[in-house]
A and B are shown apart, each in its own frame.
Chain A
Amino acid sequence: MSADEFMGYARPTGQPGIRNHVLVVPNVVCSATVAKKIAERTGTKTFYNQFGCGHIGPDYRFMLRSISGLAKNPNVAAALVVGLGCESIPAANMAKEIAKTEKPVEYLDIEEVGGALASVEKGVEVVERLKADVATQRREAFPLADLTLGLECGSSDAISGITANPALGIATDRLVEAGGTAILPEFIEWFGAEQELAERFVDEAEGQRFLNLVAAAGETFRQMGADFSLIMPGNVKGGLSTIEEKAIGNIHKAGSKPIQGLLKYATPPPGKGLWLMVEPGIDIESMTGLAGAGCQICVFTTGRGTPAGNLVMPVIKVTGNPHTYAAQKSDIDLDVAAIMEGGSVEAFGEQIFASIVEVANGEQTLAEEHGFEEIAFWRPPYIANVDPAIKDVFDEYLHGKL
């Protein structure tokens, strides 16, 4: 393996994985506990899916994409979809969507198999078979250009914008220079910095479309009677006073490269380089969308600390706040607070980049070690009473073709 490579698992299509998980997908809330029991007995991964039924029209496509995205993530080697049998998104459709990646995928319906207990037994049998297939796979060398990095930040303080975020920006630039891909989610965090981002779009018209989306989101908030002081109490405690201050600090994570375009939630980018993703800005929903977009790895900068991880995508947590690191060492992988004592941002950026490669090669993050595997799907607003033109813009970015 050379310096510009990492050791990953080959997949039949698309990018290689950095983990080799077998995922038990609860197709609907009604099958979530059966899925949990199967995963517990087989030592595999699952999550509690609160949704999966009653989805119609655009919402059907949105949830199909979001749930299947987790199984389509390159870190998942094989999947079993556990359905009830009567839900609006049939397990067969979910499995068919996942099978577009050509990875092994099977499904069962509790109503077909003959009840929950029989389904657990059947599921365990299927998963043991999938596990045996997957166990023979070995890591191989791949170019760093095959990595997609998610850029998350949460519980930001005024220190994030001067330490951890610019250091992550250096690492993002390094990956993009190596031919890789990075995705910046969270549109609420763009309010106040949208002009600067729009100017970085490679395609000017796409930059205008992006501004229009931010404007539509803003107009929606206005019609809901909300103001724009959308910073959270923790942000204020951390010293951030305004949304502009937060946004300008936040977008440092995305480095300095041109922006290729805007992605729908949980949608893999159609090319390499730096992308933005539509998602409001809630950490766990955002990382679920990043995993659904095919990010094999995520770096999460946090001012005030968080235990958050992701089920299928390793999350490296970085803080530039020495007090946060001292208090929450068990949650934070990297401490870059020395930047404040004159440490070079470049050097810490290189350290973050080196950590990305180490974790890609198999080193466990703290969240993985401790089993923090949060999943939450964004539920976009389906607003009936807003200006049809706003709805139109939202629909395009939530459900339309790219």
Chain B
Amino acid sequence: MKTTIKSRRDLIVIRSHMPAKYLIINPDADNVATALAELPKNSTLDVEVRGETRTLTFKKKIPFGHKFVLEHLEGGDEVVKYGQVIGVVKGRKVLEPGDYAHTRQIKSQYHRTEFKGDRGETA
């Protein structure tokens, strides 16, 4: 399923074909998936990553709604969901496909829109 996402409508088409146990919202860009069922510790799951089926083993339980990574990521690497950067991998952590990605593994890199102190002029 290769689709370039241009609008929310396109996102929605992809969502209409959700598999049962996990979801990759933007399969072209995302490097994390969302568990749509609890994925038990040490269980395996066939996951389609950019057209290639990979068997992932979960070293930790992935609770319902939580994320696991789809590719090798290291400290400072961007974490992409919805086709958008939602944070970076923390410190010197190394994450492999199937590893849990939550607040201990990834962090926000939200930069406030810089306040310039006058109306209408914003960085």
Chain A residues in contact with chain B, CB under 8 A?
Answer: 157-159, 161-162, 166, 169-170, 191-192, 194-195, 205, 208-209, 211-212, 214-216, 218-219, 222, 228-229, 236, 238-239, 241-245, 248-249, 252, 255-256, 303, 321, 323, 339-346, 387, 389-390, 392-393, 396
Instruction: Tell yes or no: B51 within 8 A of A by CB.
Output: no
B103 engages A244 (CB within 8 Å):
no
Q: Return the contact of A242 from the options B35, B66, B106, B115 (Cβ within 8 A).
A: B106
Instruction: Check A219/B115 contact, CB under 8 A, given A158-B34, A162-B15.
Output: yes
Provide the residues of chain A in CB contact with B115, threshold 8 Å. Answer: 212, 215-216, 218-219, 389-390
A341 engages B20 (CB within 8 Å):
yes
A321 engages B65 (CB within 8 Å):
yes
Give Cα A191 to B87, complex, Å.
13
CB distance from A224 to the nearest CB of B (A): 13
Contact with A along B47-81 (1 / 0, CB 8 A): 00000000000000001111100000000000101
CB distance from A196 to the nearest CB of B (A): 8
Instruction: Check A248/B108 contact, CB under 8 A, given A157-B65, A194-B113, A256-B8.
Output: no
CB distance from B21 to the nearest CB of A (A): 10
A239 engages B12 (CB within 8 Å):
no
Instruction: Check A252/B8 contact, CB under 8 A, given A242-B110, A244-B110.
Output: yes
Give Cα A218 to B64, complex, Å.
32
CB distance from B95 to the nearest CB of A (A): 13
Instruction: Tell yes or no: B42 within 8 A of A by CB.
Output: no
Question: Please, which residue of chain A has its CB at the minimum distance from the CB of B63?
Answer: A239
B108 engages A242 (CB within 8 Å):
yes
B86 engages A323 (CB within 8 Å):
no
Contacts A158-B67, A162-B34 known; 16 new A-B pairs at CB < 8 A: A158-B34, A162-B15, A192-B108, A195-B113, A211-B113, A212-B116, A212-B119, A215-B122, A216-B115, A222-B112, A239-B34, A241-B67, A241-B103, A389-B118, A392-B119, A393-B119
Interface of B is mostly: loop
B122 engages A211 (CB within 8 Å):
yes
Q: How many residues of B contact A (CB 8 A)?
A: 46
B106 engages A241 (CB within 8 Å):
yes
CB distance from B63 to the nearest CB of A (A): 7
Provide the residues of chain B in CB contact with A239, threshold 8 Å. Answer: 34-35, 63-67, 102
Contact with A along B20-56 (1 / 0, CB 8 A): 1001010000000011100000000000000000000
Provide the residues of chain A in CB contact with B7, threshold 8 Å. Answer: 256
Q: Return the contact of B23 from the options A245, A248, A340 (Cβ within 8 A).
A: A340
B15 engages A345 (CB within 8 Å):
yes
A241 engages B102 (CB within 8 Å):
yes
Provide the residues of chain B in CB contact with A229, threshold 8 Å. Answer: 108
B103 engages A212 (CB within 8 Å):
no
Give Cα A321 to B35, complex, Å.
12
Provide the residues of chain B in CB contact with A218, threshold 8 Å. Answer: 112-113, 115
Q: Return the contact of A340 from the options B8, B9, B18, B87 (Cβ within 8 A).
A: B18
B65 engages A238 (CB within 8 Å):
yes
Give Cα A96 to B38, complex, Å.
57
B110 engages A243 (CB within 8 Å):
yes
Give Cα A242 to B63, complex, Å.
17
CB distance from B116 to the nearest CB of A (A): 8
A191 engages B110 (CB within 8 Å):
yes
Provide the residues of chain A in CB contact with B112, threshold 8 Å. Answer: 191, 214-215, 218-219, 222, 228
Interface-central residue, A162, A252, A303, A346, by most chain B CB under 10 Å? A162
Q: Return the contact of B65 from the options A158, A205, A222, A248 (Cβ within 8 A).
A: A158
Provide the residues of chain B in CB contact with A242, threshold 8 Å. Answer: 86-87, 106-108, 110
Give Cα A346 to B11, complex, Å.
11
Query: 8 Å CB contacts to A: which residues of B84-119?
Result: 84-87, 101-103, 106-110, 112-119
